[in-house]
Structures are given as structure tokens and as C-alpha cells.
A and B are shown apart, each in its own frame.
Chain A
Amino acid sequence: MAVMALSKPAVAQQKIKQVSPNWLEIQDSLGSWRNTANPAGLTRDQPVQFSKVQATYDIEQGDFRRPQQAQKINSQSIYGAGNTQLNDYYLQGFIRYNRQFREDATYNASLIDPFRDMPYYIIDSNASDWLNQLYTMGFDLASPVFKDKWTAGLSVDYQAASGAKQRDIRAENTQFGLSIRPGLTYQINANHVAGFNLLFATSKEESVNSNVNVYVDQGYFIHYGLGHAIPYVGSGTNMNYESEKWGAGLQYEYHGLWNLLLSTNYAIAAETANIGFLAGRTQGSILTRQSESSLRATRENTLFAHQIVLNYAFKLGEGTEYWNEFVPGLESDGYINQHKAVRSTYRNSFGEAAYTLIKKREGGYDWKLRGQASYRKREDQYLLPQSAFGMSYLNYALSFDKMISSGNATYTLGGKIGNQHSLSGDYRYGGQRADELPVQELMRSDLNFLTTDFLSIEIPFTYSLQVDNKHIHNFYVQAVGSWLDARSTEYQNRKKITLSVGAIF
């Protein structure tokens, strides 16, 4: 793999010999182009050559969760990343393996990730464990500057996943996704750079349902959106999801007293949900238009760095339903689509503002203060019969991290306190199955969760040891504990502990 070759010595853009997690955090935060979708701009961030491996274990549990979220999640992952120069070209890549054991997840028997905005899926009532494995890998390639103005780049990410639901109705899922982003940047003059990139992505997820206990047929629903679902009895069905996505991004960078990077992306995607693996029995499709804009303003001197980040994202989904008719006969193609129409819409908007103040020091930061506030609004509609789901909330948080050195070792201890305040929330179901599970248990529980105020506390700690002062040889241990405390009589809390061990070299 290309990624494995990244640990070979190569010419770096910057000659820095102390790279710690603390330092990488600063680079990721203050870097400009690495926070855009355009790989052509990566070399303009003057990246340092390093490789990194990390093993992570985390455990998460608690009753404050969305209804389809597992009661307890136990996860292990291995991550490797690095970068190098290939002649004049810059190459960076990563690979990650993640294994998840999710206990007592409900109301989903066809999606590895039930929160990926796919309204057409199988709902069953049996709380079940899921065993999931996720492989992701990718690389970014950036050219040197040519004709004193231009750089080009290519980014490719690949993802493969498997998931298995452990209780009837069982589900065996396989999924893959590929995304490709070619891009260009153009240096207008010493202070101005513009960029442009394209995006193409495709994905497929297959879900095969079955009962191990073939003598007991299970009740299940095919969900169409906002609790509108059709009940069935049996062993579920097979779902086949296929998607394609096209998009483009524009970037503009200004170097001055403040460095500014303005980026905006637009993408349009469609995903179909079919019953079975043959053509002609599409149950639904979702067309998504998505735009994201970001402004990053950074000012640095030798002692301090200030950064203001403004993000805005808007996503509009249109759910199309299909009316199919089975035509029997040896010559028949089976199910024939007779009609389709947009029957549900999903509107999401998100805005965020953050300010970060960093007291710099060699090899990282002395301290970091960050404040952020975000606003999210969701307005979903099922058109006929009319149902609506809406909610909005304000989330704000303040964090402080301090690094302490002791010889070659550093200790970074932080604290983050946040609050989410619900501004609105409403679910009105207009169908004829108001007393059934998808409405009473799934949708109403989801609304309860999404409109519950909570306090969040996060405490990160990092121990980092510079093994060799002449080279980038860093060993580190990270621990993060987080706690969500629901301000509700219905929920208590959700807690998560993440432990990581890694090396940078």
C-alpha cells in the first residue's frame, strides 16, 4: 500500500523534529487547505513529513441516546497515516480499521448506520446487538507549482464495511463507498489564491434479512419516512441501496494580517432503496442537495494565534416513493414501476461560530482557549398524508487545554463544558397508523431525545514522550472522558471513555 511507504525518508516541506499530538492538533486547526475538499492546495499548507500509527479503544453507554443508537458501544480501531514527497509531488494517505460491538440497538434491521439520512429501511422491535467492521483508506496527491501559478491534486477515499444484526430478524450487511476529488489551485498574486475541485462519489449497501428461528415469524415494518411505515410478518426482506453523488467546491485564500480561507462546496446526490437485488422494485429514493460554506480567519505571531471559524451548511432531501405492480408470467420482468412521486422532504440547516486563542510554544501550544456556538434546525415533512417533524437547538461550549513539560515528556490536560438548549420541537403524524411502533416508539422517542437539553463535560488528557530529540520519534497516550447529563426525567446520561496509544515518527 502507498500508505505503508510513507514512513520512508523523504524531502519534507518543513524540517521540524518535534511532532507531538499537541503540535499536530495545532497544524490541523490552523492549517487552511487541509480543511477544504481540494487536495491541490495541500502543499500550500507546508505540511511536515511524518507518519503516525494509533490504536484506540472506546466504550460508550447510557440511556441518553437516540432510539436506534445502541445502549452500549464497544469499539476498537487501528489507524495509520503519513505523508511523503514523490519527486516533486506531495502524497499523504491513511488507513483505518474499526470494529464495533453495539449492544441493544433497536428499530433498524437494514442499515449499518441508521443515521445516514436514509428514510427507507426495515424497522423491527427486537433490541439486538450489531457487530460491525469498517475499513477506510485514502490518499491525497498534490502536484508542485507549475507555471508559477498552478497546482493540481487528486484525492481518493475508499470505504468498506460489514455489519451483522445478531437477533431475529437478522441482517447481514455489506457496504462500500468510493469518492474521488480532483482539484486545481491558482495563485493570483502573492496574497491571493483561488481553488476549484470536483467531487464524485458512489456507494452501495446490501442488507440480507433472515430468521434463524424459522418457526417464529417476526413482525417488521418497511419505513418510508416520518413514521409512515407498512407492517409485515415474516423474516424481513433484502434491501439494496445504491447512490451516486456529484459536487464541486470553490476556495479563495487571502494572505495578509489575517489569513483568510473561504471555501464553499455544493453536491447533489441520489440514493435508491430497492427490495431485492434485481431491478424494478425500487421502494424509494432520496435526492439530496447539500451546500457547505466555511470562513477561516487566522492571525499568528510568534506568541499567539487567533482563529475565527464560521461554518454554514444546508441540506435538502427529497424522498421519492415508487408504486410498483407485479406482472406475473414467464416472459414478465416482474415488478413494473407505474408511478413515482416526491412524498417527503428533509430540510437541515446548521450554523457555527468558533473562536480559538492559542498561546504558542515550541512543539505545540502552551495553552488553548476555545469558545464555540452552533445552531441547528431540522424541518421534515411527509406530504400526503401530511406529517411534520421539526426541531432546533442552540449548542455552546467553552474549552481550555494546558500543556506542561517535564524533560522530554509533555502532559496536556483539558476541560470542555458545553450546553445544548432546545429551542423548538414538534412531531405531528397525519397517517392512519398513529398507534403503531414507528410512530409511538421510534419517532416520538427520537423527538424526545433531540429536544432534551443537556450538559456536556469532556476531559482530555495526553501524555507525550519525545523519544529522540534528533528525529521525529514520539510516543503518546491519550484518554478522553465525556459525559452528557440530560436535563430530563426521561433520560439520565451518556458517558464515553476513549483510550489511545500511538506513535509519530
Chain B
Amino acid sequence: MKNNTFIPLLIAIGVALCSISCQKITDSLDTKTIDYLAVDIEAIPVLSGISSTEGLPVTLTNYTEKHQISTTLQAGVTTIDSIIPGLYTINVDGELLVGTEKYLLKGSVANVLLVPGNQHVKVNIDGAKVGPLAISEIFYAGTAPFYFRNQFYEITNNSDELVYVDGLHFANLHPTIATTNLPIWPEEDQGAYTYAQRVWKIPGKGRDYPLQPGESFTIAQFAANHKLPQYNPNSPIDASLSEFEFNMNNPSFPDQPAVDMEHVFYNGRAAKGTVPQYLTSVFGGAFAIFRIPEDESYDPVGNPNLQTRDLGTTGTTLYAKIPLRYVVDAVEAGHNESMSAAKRVPTVLDAGMTWVGATYNSLGVRRKRIGQRANGTPILMDTNNSTEDFERQVVPQFRYHGQGIPSWSRAF
């Protein structure tokens, strides 16, 4: 090689290198240092008789980084300084005295990304709706090694009135596992629905299953004594006295004495399908109980208007629409608190998320007790925020808080 070829070669290499993008370096050089944000919260009262939300407590929570800022709403727009950029859930929840009337008001917005340029948040404030029934305990994580048939759901009458649970619907919502890849639902629904993968209902003619205040019942995936050797002796729960079960006609796990739930909907059909068990995610699903108003009918199989597919995918799976106004209670669970950034349940139903932090750890979630009735039955916390309302990583137990046993239960 001669010098007169070597030097041009070096020059060519230099030119080639210079033509290679320096995009990463220039992008980094253009980046500013992080700073606190000032965020405006505009709380809009939608309940008649309420014109101002001044004085209500507001909390901004960044679940992934565990930051929380609480303050009190001012008249009009409330400016909150010192917000670290991030994904926040904003909750307004409190009592307001208007004249001599005391109002319990709530409003929330989940997972709003507060970053420069997006510093104004509107929150509709409505009257707090607390249903008479509350999902009081859920055990979804299963037991090591890989035993998931001991899942159960406990529902408590948290009101002061007798409730008949005949016809109460139970649904697990889509996505069945927490994900930031959320579905796209029809625009015309205008946020009036939540969407279920599978729907069941409690049988009965209307007055077969009364539930007195403070009483509870459970629905088991498989209502057997899971501590038996043929199942899993490490199971924390014996579900043989569960009141209801999700019987999927699996001969290996045959029908138990518990009353079978009626199957309502799965992928556009009333049939249960071929899945051998009703397994909800051991990471934590989202669940709703809902009741159909007496003057309305609900037929997500026969009425195509109550079905939809996820428009964000090419999948053909059909999901049942559940009007939000039907919902009595809803609870959302996820892998851990970081998955609060992947909420899929409307905040009007559940402003938070609960978790047990692992799978097959024999731990569940349980609603907190805030008081008791004269007969010793519990009054449970129900602020429509499962992050606050639930104790996490508890050892599952039926009627932990001393709930009563309904007279029609085999456990009575």
C-alpha cells in the first residue's frame, strides 16, 4: 500500500464514520434536567346541589414510584406544586357540608401521565355510590406447587338491609391479566360499560338466598376440601362448605355439594366452552358483581348490542358489555403495585388496585374492617378504592371478620 492510497483510505473512513448517525448523543445532549411540575386540578361537581368542591381532600398517587401527595381542593382550580413527573392516580374523596346537608363525594382519574405540557387534570366529582354488597375477600394466587383450584370469592352484605342475592351476576373483566396494552372499546359506548370475559349468576327465584346485614357467602372455583391429599394439603382453605361453585363439568374435579353458579356468557355464547376449569389469573384479575334492575333485561348472548370485540386487535373473541350503573362492587387485582399503571377497571368502580405480589403463595386480599354491628358482624371499608380498602397478602379464610352465616348455607 502506498501513502497516496493510505491517506485517502483514512479520509474515506473518516467520512464514513461522520456519516454514521450520532442521534443518541445529540438526543441526550438536548435533554433537560428533571424538575418539579406544577399541576392544576380542576374538580368539577356533577351532583345537583353541589356547586363547589372546595375543602375536599385530594390525593395524587404514583404507584410505581410510591409517591403520594395529599392536599385540600381550593375553589376553582387547585394548583399543586412539587409534583415529580410520572403516572398518577388522582382521588378526591370526602364529605362536604352544604347548608345542613352532608354529602359524601368522590371522584378519580387513573393513570394520568403528568409531564410538562400535560399539567391540567379535570376530575368529575359525584356522590359516592356504595352498593349493599361488597366483595370482601378474594383468593386467586393459588398454592405451591401450581395448585389453582382453591380460588374463591367472598361477598358480604355490608349494608343495614336484607339483600336477596338471587340473580346477582359475577364477572371477570377483560383484560384478564393486568397489562399496559389495554383494549380499545367502541367509541359509541362512551365509557358507559365495563367489559367481561365470562359472566355467571347466582341461581334462585328471587327470595331463595337472603343475606342479612353482616352475613357473607363464598363462591369457589371448586368447592372441595383442598387440604385433602388428592388435592393440595398445603392449601390454606377448605372450600367444601362454600355456598356456590363454578362447576365446569370436569369429571376429574366433579360437581360438589355447593350450589352451581349459572353460566351466562363466554365469547358470545351461553355455553361454558371447553375449558376444564374456571381459572382466573393467578396474577390477579378484575372482578365485578352486578345486578339487573327489575324493569330491565340483560342478555349479552341474545343482544348483539351487549357484545363487542377488542377493536385494538384483530381477535374475534367477544366480550360482554356490563353497564356501569348495574355494578354493585368491583375489585381489581394485579401482579404488584407497579401494575397499578396498567389499570383496566374504570375508576368510578374501583379507583385503585390490590395485589399479593407473587403467584402460588397461598395469600389473598381481604377488605378491611372499620366497625361492627351490635351483633358483632363487621362493617367493611368500601370507598371504591381497593388499594385503600383491602389488606394485602393475607392468609385466606372464610368469614375472617366474623361475618354471619346465612341460614340457607350448609355451613349454618
Provide the bound-state CA to CA distance between A268 and B28, in Å: 11
Q: Say yes or no for A177: interface residue by CB 8 A criterion.
A: no
Provide the bound-state CA to CA distance between A340 and B33, in Å: 9
Q: Say yes or no for B370: interface residue by CB 8 A criterion.
A: no
Provide the bound-state CA to CA distance between A326 and B183, in Å: 11
| Minimum Cβ distance to chain A for residue B311 (Å) | 8
**A198, B14: Cβ atoms under 8 Å?**
yes
**B34, A341: Cβ atoms under 8 Å?**
yes
* Interface membership of chain A positions 225-263, coded 1 if the CB is closer than 8 angstroms to chain B and 0 otherwise: 000101111100000001110100000000000000000
Provide the bound-state CA to CA distance between A271 and B10, in Å: 27
Instruction: Select which of A217, A285, A325 is within 8 A of B28 by beta carbon.
Output: A285
Q: Say yes or no for A272: interface residue by CB 8 A criterion.
A: yes
**B36, A339: Cβ atoms under 8 Å?**
no
**A231, B27: Cβ atoms under 8 Å?**
no
Q: Given the interface contacts A323-B86, A323-B115, does A342 sit within 8 Å of B32 by beta carbon?
A: yes
Provide the bound-state CA to CA distance between A285 and B25, in Å: 10
Q: Given the interface contacts A230-B64, A341-B33, does A330 sit within 8 Å of B313 by beta carbon?
A: yes
* Interface membership of chain A positions 197-219, coded 1 if the CB is closer than 8 angstroms to chain B and 0 otherwise: 01010100000000000011101
Instruction: Select which of A198, A287, A431 is within 8 A of B66 by beta carbon.
Output: A431
Instruction: Select which of A182, A244, A338, A384 is within 8 A of B84 by beta carbon.
Output: A384
Chain A contributes a number of interface residues (CB within 8 A of B) equal to 57
On chain B, the residues within 8 Å of A343 by CB distance are 34
On chain A, the residues within 8 Å of B146 by CB distance are 215-216
**A217, B6: Cβ atoms under 8 Å?**
no
Q: Say yes or no for A146: interface residue by CB 8 A criterion.
A: yes
Instruction: Select which of B7, B13, B183, B357 is within 8 A of A233 by beta carbon.
Output: B357
Instruction: Select which of B1, B67, B144 is within 8 A of A87 by beta carbon.
Output: B1
CB contact list, A114-140 vs B, under 8 A: none
**A246, B25: Cβ atoms under 8 Å?**
yes
Q: Given the interface contacts A198-B14, A216-B359, A219-B357, does A338 sit within 8 Å of B118 by beta carbon?
A: yes
On chain B, the residues within 8 Å of A342 by CB distance are 31-34
Q: Given the interface contacts A232-B338, A328-B182, does A244 sit within 8 Å of B22 by beta carbon?
A: yes
* Interface membership of chain A positions 173-207, coded 1 if the CB is closer than 8 angstroms to chain B and 0 otherwise: 00000001010000000000000001010100000
Provide the bound-state CA to CA distance between A384 and B84, in Å: 7
For B14, give the chain A residue with the smallest CB separation: A182
Contact residues on B (Cβ < 8 Å of other chain), bracket: 35 or more
Provide the bound-state CA to CA distance between A342 and B33, in Å: 4
Provide the bound-state CA to CA distance between A219 and B84, in Å: 26
**B24, A271: Cβ atoms under 8 Å?**
yes
**B25, A339: Cβ atoms under 8 Å?**
no
**B24, A272: Cβ atoms under 8 Å?**
yes
On chain B, the residues within 8 Å of A146 by CB distance are 3
* Interface membership of chain B positions 6-20, coded 1 if the CB is closer than 8 angstroms to chain A and 0 otherwise: 110110011001001
**A180, B17: Cβ atoms under 8 Å?**
yes
Instruction: Select which of A154, A243, A329, A339 is within 8 A of B115 by beta carbon.
Output: A339
CB contact list, B342-374 vs A, under 8 A: 357-360
CB contact list, B27-51 vs A, under 8 A: 27-29, 31-36
Q: Say yes or no for B397: interface residue by CB 8 A criterion.
A: no
CB contact list, A389-445 vs B, under 8 A: 431-433
**A231, B338: Cβ atoms under 8 Å?**
yes
Provide the bound-state CA to CA distance between A33 and B377, in Å: 85
Q: Say yes or no for A310: interface residue by CB 8 A criterion.
A: no
Q: Given the interface contacts A343-B34, A432-B65, does A233 sit within 8 Å of B84 by beta carbon?
A: no
Q: Say yes or no for B234: interface residue by CB 8 A criterion.
A: no
**A144, B336: Cβ atoms under 8 Å?**
no
Provide the bound-state CA to CA distance between A143 and B9, in Å: 12
Q: Say yes or no for A11: interface residue by CB 8 A criterion.
A: no
* Interface membership of chain B positions 319-347, coded 1 if the CB is closer than 8 angstroms to chain A and 0 otherwise: 00000000000000001111100000000
On chain A, the residues within 8 Å of B9 by CB distance are 154
* Interface membership of chain A positions 343-367, coded 1 if the CB is closer than 8 angstroms to chain B and 0 otherwise: 1000000000000000000000000
| Minimum Cβ distance to chain A for residue B366 (Å) | 20
Instruction: Select which of A154, A326, A330 is within 8 A of B314 by beta carbon.
Output: A330
Provide the bound-state CA to CA distance between A233 and B360, in Å: 12
Q: Say yes or no for A447: interface residue by CB 8 A criterion.
A: no
On chain B, the residues within 8 Å of A144 by CB distance are 3
**B36, A152: Cβ atoms under 8 Å?**
no
Q: Say yes or no for B210: interface residue by CB 8 A criterion.
A: no
Q: Say yes or no for B275: interface residue by CB 8 A criterion.
A: no
For B33, give the chain A residue with the smallest CB separation: A342
Q: Say yes or no for B180: interface residue by CB 8 A criterion.
A: yes
Q: Say yes or no for A4: interface residue by CB 8 A criterion.
A: no
On chain A, the residues within 8 Å of B96 by CB distance are none
Provide the bound-state CA to CA distance between A339 and B146, in Å: 41
Provide the bound-state CA to CA distance between A385 and B85, in Å: 11
Q: Say yes or no for A453: interface residue by CB 8 A criterion.
A: no
**B1, A326: Cβ atoms under 8 Å?**
no
**B85, A143: Cβ atoms under 8 Å?**
no
* Interface membership of chain B positions 146-159, coded 1 if the CB is closer than 8 angstroms to chain A and 0 otherwise: 10000000000000
Q: Given the interface contacts A182-B14, A330-B313, A339-B115, does A143 sit within 8 Å of B65 by beta carbon?
A: no
Provide the bound-state CA to CA distance between A341 and B66, in Å: 19
Q: Say yes or no for A269: interface residue by CB 8 A criterion.
A: yes
**B358, A219: Cβ atoms under 8 Å?**
yes
Provide the bound-state CA to CA distance between A343 and B36, in Å: 11
- Cβ-closest 7 pairs across A and B: A432-B66, A339-B115, A287-B28, A270-B24, A341-B34, A328-B312, A233-B335
Complex A-B: 6 CB contacts under 8 Å: A146-B3, A202-B20, A217-B283, A328-B182, A329-B184, A338-B117
Residues of B within 8 A of A (CB): 1, 3, 6-7, 9-10, 13-14, 17, 20-22, 24-25, 27-29, 31-36, 64-67, 84-87, 113, 115-118, 144-146, 180-184, 283, 311-314, 335-339, 357-360
Given A180-B13, A217-B358, A431-B66, 11 other A-B contacts at CB below 8 A?
A89-B6, A143-B6, A216-B144, A233-B359, A246-B22, A268-B25, A318-B31, A320-B28, A323-B115, A342-B33, A384-B34
